[in-house]
Structure 1
Amino acid sequence: MPIDEAINVRWAIEIQKTSLNTRNLSDLLHGLGFNLVEGIEYPALTSPVIDACLTSADVFEKAKAVREAFKGPAQIDTNFVLGSVIDYSTNPPRRHAFLEVESLVSTSTVSACAITISPPDGLSATELKQWHAEHEEQQYQAKLERQRSKLEPAFYSPRAKKVLELLAIENPSGETIYKIYELAQGPAGNRENFHRQFGISKEQFNRFRDAVHSPEISGDMARHAYGHGPNTPNPMSLSEAEIFIRHIADNWLESVRDNGSDS
């Protein structure tokens, strides 16, 4: 996919390094409201928000939020590196370099099950070529949707970014599971609205709360060490509580993505 020329653009910031191909990078940036354009030495990103900046330092701060979304808990592209800010208001365009100390970024590997789908029998050479092209496009769109479902919430909301970080923990404790709930719920006064929005019944929540709080249910993985016996006759197990909160978190992250914020 060709990259657009930087026409009628005041500012752009180069992407010095990425593991993504041009189409994938462009599609992901577009979902965040940015365009991929030709830079001086590297591809560059720009947007009306960036063009409204007064200084190159302001531009770099905006771009850092994009970088964090790609490199952070969403784990879209841990190789994403920003380059220089380009000022197109001068002739020739001027590059402003910003030196940063690279922070340590932890990565996690999630195994995926590969499913091979074979084309139907009896296709002609032309039909087979078309089938492969359509199948490849379907696979790309599915991958893009998986990426965007994490990238966009992480960009729009610090709370969503933290939720994604906690969701990546294997065998989470009751404390971690409840933190995910609290981050999604927001302020304590929002509980009733949150439960109504995401269809959480009082019984479900009480069974969930028993699982994460009570050491009688979850042992050393419980949020509390003692004094919190179950209050329901059929509390969730800790594994059920994890499944429950992952479902709620997925729905909440989707709402953040749809609304462009966590409010």
Structure 2
Amino acid sequence: MSAAAAADRPTAAIATAVVTGASSGIGAATARQLAAAGYHVVVTARREDRVAALAEEITAAGGSASASALDVTDRAAVDAFAADLTGDAARSPVTVLINNAGGALGLDPVADGVVAEWRQMYETNVLGTLNVTQALLPALTASGDGTVVVVSSTAALGTYEGGAGYVAAKHGEHVLAETLRLEIVGTPVRVIEVAPGMVKTEGFATTRFHGDTAKAAKVYAGVAAPLTADDVADTITWAVTRPSHVNIDLLVVRPRAQASNSKVHREL
């Protein structure tokens, strides 16, 4: 655990949930809701200042949280994080992993796609999920009641023009979750996939368009009520808090205005 830890280590009486990509958006909202549901949340992301502030906010509100800077694409850092988190017998058991770190870059056709952006999306969305899942799966199994959540996207289930790089990465993440579920059936670990559609968060579209706020705004233009981060966090928390024998294999959640990845009602 880094120096950014914002709360004392919890006792074994409270279960721990790890949330990646928790510096903003869906990850931060999910951490807040899991803390409200009674978990000690370990919030991770590359931006240490953001996750430290989030952990302090959760703790100040009466929850239990700690923070750690983590780049999910750095396998050595992931392994060190997992070893620190699970190596102390006095620390609460890790029972939930929320693989939320990811993101999109660009909206180029295949003919003009930027290879470096495709690689970055694959490494973050797919290999990042693989790294953290592999590192924490032994602890989740040992807990006797573990849950792996993969936050994918409706892009994992259907393509659209200009989205091939992101779609390919999210399809890979979807297949990772689906295959893991087959491979570990019979163990005390559930694998849940939540696939959000159009979600308006503080940074997703802006990051995709490299800081171009005008392009980012066009994504949501005319859509009366896209999903919020809290909407998706509520869905994730609901799935995680089902009875242990209930596995929500795949939950697709879209705003009412979105019928598919390419069919959106806009009031212009």
TM-score by length of 2: 0.28
TM-score by length of 1: 0.28
Higher Rg of the two aligned structures: 1
More strand by share: 2
More helix by share: 1
